[in-house]
Structure 1
């Protein structure tokens, strides 16, 4: 049986069409492989080119534009008033600064304005609680005065005093001494009127940064 198989194999190899048939059967496979390789190389080159172009455009953006396009991250969550202004505290959509030094009402007003803010306007019980908690046992100026007309109290931002929240200490405002034209948060958290040259701490407020 082995000799018969050997004889048959020799006959096949002697047939010149054997190699040709084999080559013809493999040609489509080689062509497909070559085409796939060519397409892969071409797509890779195009992708690299696009990535390079996008990277170049990003590098050309101004620093402000990059910041504007950045999604708020951990710093925003930890410091909503801005990572560079950590002395400001967030509450109910606004930022608050509680001073560490004492000064008169008018100087406090000017210092808040220098920081692009204003003396705090307390127009709700929630805000009163927030300020009262932070200022307990000390006196802090707020943005309330009747300098323009005695007894006609006005909030510094134009908020209607007569129709909004108030939290005066019992018996206040009393204009004792006829010069108590500015309001501050008393040690108990309630409001008190006092002469505007009195020196105490102050509270500034401003909107959240854009």
Structure 2
């Protein structure tokens, strides 16, 4: 073998060796990158699992928060964002019906909405309802059906020791069957037969 061929073979060998070194370098770099990628995936998975676990524990401790709404919504709709027809006053929510019905049906419809016919036990509440009813007839939760002349609030509030706002000369039991009360002109109370159809006022506590 002459010197020229030996020199060429040496160049080929060095070229292959250089290529193999570069290949090993690239392989090493890719291996390191793959390792870091796998490490990132593992860290992300662990972090996500921990966040999910903490969230689950919070929901177990405060399940009612799922139904809570923001402070801004509370200011706009204190009776609940899905109860915009309810009006807030002094710690309770009030519904003023848009249709007329009898006292017993009004009582049942309030109960279907998890509420009761309004019990007026203060001058402040009287003013609030008087302003909203505007001389229309609205049923309230007051009746003497059980015993004539013995008026009772449906929530068992003591009628004899609480606020009243009867119209002058009322209750008079005209016709001997006026056993249910409603607010009327200037918000004054009047007794009338329970099958009479008028609007009604429901009340309920604030949602939790």
Give the shorter-chain TM-score range. Answer: 0.7 to 0.9
1:169 matches 2:180: no
Residue 16 of structure 2 aligns with which residue? Answer: none
Q: Secondary structure of the residue that 2:95 maps to in structure 1? A: strand
Deviation of 1:60 after TM superposition, in Å, equals 4.4
Deviation of 1:69 after TM superposition, in Å, equals 8.9
Give 1:111-190 correspondences, 5 Å limit. 111-190=109-188
Give 1:41-52 correspondences, 5 Å limit. 52=48
1:76 matches 2:93: no
User: What's the Cα RMSD here?
Assistant: 2.7
1-structure distance, mates of 2:53, 2:89: 39
2-structure distance, mates of 1:75, 1:85: 12
1-structure distance, mates of 2:52, 2:108: 46
1-structure distance, mates of 2:123, 2:44: 59
Cα 1:69–1:51 shift into 2, 3 Å: farther
Deviation of 1:80 after TM superposition, in Å, equals 0.9
Q: 1:88-111: per-residue Cα shift (whole Å, max 9, x none)? A: 111111110000000000000000
Residue 25 of structure 2 aligns with which residue? Answer: none
Deviation of 1:188 after TM superposition, in Å, equals 1.7
Deviation of 1:57 after TM superposition, in Å, equals 2.5
Q: 1:35-63: per-residue Cα shift (whole Å, max 9, x none)? A: xxxxxxxxxxxx97885344323554769
Cα 1:102–1:66 shift into 2, 3 Å: closer
Deviation of 1:122 after TM superposition, in Å, equals 0.0
Deviation of 1:77 after TM superposition, in Å, equals 1.4
1:194 matches 2:189: no
Any stretches of 5+ residues in structure 2 without a counterpart?
1-42
Cα 1:66–1:98 shift into 2, 3 Å: closer
1-structure distance, mates of 2:68, 2:114: 24
